[in-house]
Every structure is written in C-alpha cells, then in structure tokens.
Homo-oligomer: A and B are copies of this chain.
Amino acid sequence: MKFYDCRMAPNPRRARIFMAEKSIVLPTIEVDIVNGENLREPFLTVNPRGLLPTLELDDGTHFDEVMAICRYLEELYPTPALLGRTPVERARVTSYQRKAEFEGMIAGSEVFRNGHEKFSVRSIPGAPHQSVPAIPGLIARGHQTIGRFHDWLENTLSRSEYLVGDTYTMADITAQCAIGFHAWIKVEIPENHAHTQRWFRAVSARPSAGA
C-alpha cells in the first residue's frame, strides 16, 4: 500500500491520526496542493478528482474518501478498534463521525474556501476541471453551522469522556481535526464550553495528535 498525503491539509490528518493510533506506517507520497500538484498529472491518474488523502493498494485499487480508507484499514488492523467495538458503537461512531464531518469539517471548508481569493473559482473540492465560483453567503452560514457543532460537542461531552462513551474513536478524530482546521478561519471552542475544552486538551495530548 501507498498513502498519498498532504501535510498541511485537514482531511489527510484524519487518516494520519487514525493510522498513528494503530501504529500503521505506510510509504507516503507528499502532494503539494498549494502549488496545485493535486490538480495535474501524474496525480490526476491516481485520483481524477484531485483529492487527498488517497490510499493505493498493491493491485492499483484506490480509495479517495477518508472513511473508505479508515474502514479498509480497520479490517486489516483491527486493534485498537476506532470504528466501534459492538454493533451499537459502530452505528454511533458512523453517526457522530458524519455529524463532525458535516457540521465541523465541511462547514469550516465552506467558510475558508468561499472567503479566500486563492479559491475564488475552486470553492468546492473534487472538481479539478471546472470553475466553481465562490458564494460569499456560505461564510455566514458556515459560521452558524459551526455554532451548532460546538453546542452539539459540548452537550455530548457533558455526558461522556469521548464522543462515543469512554473510548477514543474516529468520531473524536474528525471532531478534533475540524477544530484544528477552524484555526485557519480564526474560530475557537467557546471559552465557556468546559467539557469540550477538557476533551480537546485530552485528545491533543495523545501522541497521535502530532501525526
């Protein structure tokens, strides 16, 4: 297997932390998205949508969605389980991971891309051959969505140590990467969200957070 990475981008970090928790070390190819290396050959042959991260299997199969990559690696390296240990936990991780992705990660991306001159005609990822003009209205909407994300985190973390009970899972990884990414748009966890602050300190202190 090979891992196509971009150190600075928020989505590859989700997969890197996942792998670090399982002590998975893969040959890694860094792709420079700042200079558009992901939008031209040879990378477009690896992933026609130009997205990072991408996992390449030895037979040439590619997976270019973080959750597809993590699901595959969870089966090959089941310990520690990061997608849940029981049917209920696995459904809960699926649900919470998606909430963190939508209301945290994607909302952050909307604020960032629709307000940054570099993305003025690349306002959504995955469309390397098209002009997709920025929509400034998405900035306010994204901030509003991140507000709901923060409230949901605080409410959930007031009841348990991690998002899904007492065990660190992929739901935490996505939420933690979303919050890290929000530094790009100068959004922080509200000061009075004590449970979220406690949780974020804990997940940030794990060795995998440096991945």
Task: Confirm or deny: A138 has a beta carbon within 8 angstroms of a beta carbon on chain B.
Answer: yes
Whether A141 contacts B130 by the Cβ 8 Å rule is no
What 1/0 mask marks residues of chain A from 98 to 137 whose CB sits below 8 Å from any chain B CB? 1100010000000000000000000110110010110101
- Residues of chain B within 8 A (CB-CB) of A88 are 57, 61, 72
Interface of A is mostly: helix
A residues contacting the other copy or chain, number (CB 8 A)? 36
Whether A63 contacts B87 by the Cβ 8 Å rule is no
Whether A98 contacts B130 by the Cβ 8 Å rule is no
| Protomer copies | 2
Tell me the nearest residue of chain B to A64, going by C-beta. B95
Contact partner of A144 (CB less than 8 A), chosen from B64, B69, B92, B130, is: B130
Tell me the nearest residue of chain B to A94, going by C-beta. B68
Task: Confirm or deny: A85 has a beta carbon within 8 angstroms of a beta carbon on chain B.
Answer: no
Given contacts A130-B144, A135-B137, contact A75 B90 (CB under 8 A): yes
- Besides the known contacts A65-B98, A65-B99, A133-B137, 12 further A-B residue pairs in the complex with CB atoms under 8 A apart: A57-B88, A63-B95, A67-B95, A69-B91, A72-B87, A76-B87, A126-B148, A127-B145, A130-B144, A133-B141, A137-B137, A138-B138
The 28 sampled A-B contact pairs (Cβ below 8 Å) are: A57-B88, A61-B88, A65-B95, A65-B99, A67-B94, A67-B95, A68-B94, A68-B95, A68-B98, A69-B91, A71-B94, A75-B87, A75-B90, A103-B126, A124-B145, A126-B148, A130-B144, A130-B148, A132-B141, A132-B144, A133-B137, A133-B141, A135-B135, A135-B137, A135-B138, A135-B141, A137-B137, A138-B138
